[in-house]
């Protein structure tokens, strides 16, 4: 009986090891991941009638489900806060991350609402298989106007590749916020920055809720 149990456990752990190994092999390459996310988001934005009609709830759901699971908000926030991150308490770091995450959700949602006839063209990935940080480069092609540069910085974590910075038209998102964050912290401290972000998110949430209320009223 004991030998039988031992064999059963051995088979179980062997199967588990194979499953884990298979899962590890199935981790998407960073450029493949970015392409898949972009294609799914753009397809939904172009085909979902509610999103096309400006339904912010549907847009926010799309961002939450398709984009956010692949973003490392803690690293993104720590880079944007810069040297002040080490001075923040664990609770302040958590609040900063949550507020910055909410701000970026509204930013992504606004961009998705503008998707019409654009296409994305990807450039060859310049990376070594051993790299743990890469940059995926692309550009948004528009029916009118010049292409818009859109690049992503990703890091490889235990559960796959995560985006931690985005470059639009030559400006990295983290650097864009870093200056204003430092100025706010210099004036009002870390709690002041948390309050500023919180107040802005409340205004953005209220603005996003207006179309939904108007639609219900009609």
Tell me what the mean pLDDT of segment 164-190 comes to. Answer: 94
**pLDDT at 212 (0 to 100):** 52
- What the block records as the tokens of 10 is 């051995």
**pLDDT at 211 (0 to 100):** 56
Looking at domain 29-217, its CATH class is alpha beta
> Could you give the percent of the chain with pLDDT greater than 90?
56
Instruction: Please measure the distance between the N-terminal and C-terminal CA atoms of the chain and give it in whole angstroms.
Output: 71
Distance CA 43, CA 126 (A): 27
Burial class from Cβ neighbours inside 10 Å (0-12, 13-18, 19+) for residue 158 reads exposed
Distance CA 5, CA 122 (A): 53
- 218 or 168: whose pLDDT is higher? 168
- What's the whole-number average pLDDT of the chain? 84
Beta pairing partners, 148: 140
- What the block records as the tokens of 171 is 């400006």
Structure confidence at residue 92 as a pLDDT band (50, 70, 90): very high
Q: What is the largest CA-CA distance in the chain?
A: 75
| pLDDT of 11 strictly over 50 | no
Distance CA 91, CA 218 (A): 43
**pLDDT at 40 (0 to 100):** 92
| C-alpha dihedral, 182 to 187 to 192 to 193, nearest 10° | -20
Tell me what the mean pLDDT of segment 4-26 comes to. Answer: 43
C-beta separation of 84 from 185 below 8 A: yes
**pLDDT at 18 (0 to 100):** 39
| pLDDT of 178 strictly over 80 | yes
C-alpha distances in angstroms, 96 versus 67, 73, 135, 185?
19, 10, 25, 12
**pLDDT at 91 (0 to 100):** 98
DSSP string across 63-109:
IIIIIGGGB-HHHHHHHHHGGGGGGS-HHHHHHHHHHHHHHHHHHHH
User: Would you give the DSSP letter of residue 45?
Assistant: H
Tell me what the mean pLDDT of segment 175-181 comes to. Answer: 94
Burial class from Cβ neighbours inside 10 Å (0-12, 13-18, 19+) for residue 160 reads middle
pLDDT tens-digit series, residues 106-120? 888 877 877 888 899
**Contacts of 83-91 spanning 24+ positions with Cβ under 8 A:** 84/181, 84/182, 84/185, 84/190, 87/190, 88/190
**pLDDT at 3 (0 to 100):** 54
**209 alpha-carbon distance from chain centroid:** 22
- What the block records as the tokens of 80 is 């944007």
| pLDDT of 7 strictly over 70 | no
């Amino acid at each position: 009986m004991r030998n039988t149990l031992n064999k059963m456990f051995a088979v179980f752990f062997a199967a588990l090891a194979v499953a884990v190994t298979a899962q590890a092999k199935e981790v998407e390459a960073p450029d493949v991941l970015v392409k898949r996310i972009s294609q799914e988001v753009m397809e939904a934005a172009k085909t979902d009638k509610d999103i096309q009609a400006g339904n912010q709830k549907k847009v926010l759901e799309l961002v939450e489900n398709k984009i956010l699971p692949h973003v490392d908000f803690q690293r993104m926030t720590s880079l944007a806060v810069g040297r002040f991150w080490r001075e923040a308490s664990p609770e302040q770091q958590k609040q900063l991350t949550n507020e910055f995450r909410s701000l970026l959700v509204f930013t992504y949602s606004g961009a998705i609402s503008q998707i019409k006839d654009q296409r994305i063209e990807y450039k060859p990935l310049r990376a070594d298989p051993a790299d743990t940080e890469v940059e995926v480069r692309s550009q948004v092609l528009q029916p009118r106007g010049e292409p818009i540069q859109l690049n992503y910085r990703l890091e490889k974590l235990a559960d796959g590749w995560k985006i931690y910075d985005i470059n639009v038209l030559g400006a990295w998102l983290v650097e864009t916020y870093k200056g204003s964050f430092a100025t706010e912290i210099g004036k009002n401290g870390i709690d002041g920055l948390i309050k500023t972000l919180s107040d802005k998110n409340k205004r953005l949430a209220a603005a996003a809720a207006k179309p939904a209320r108007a639609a219900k009223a009609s």
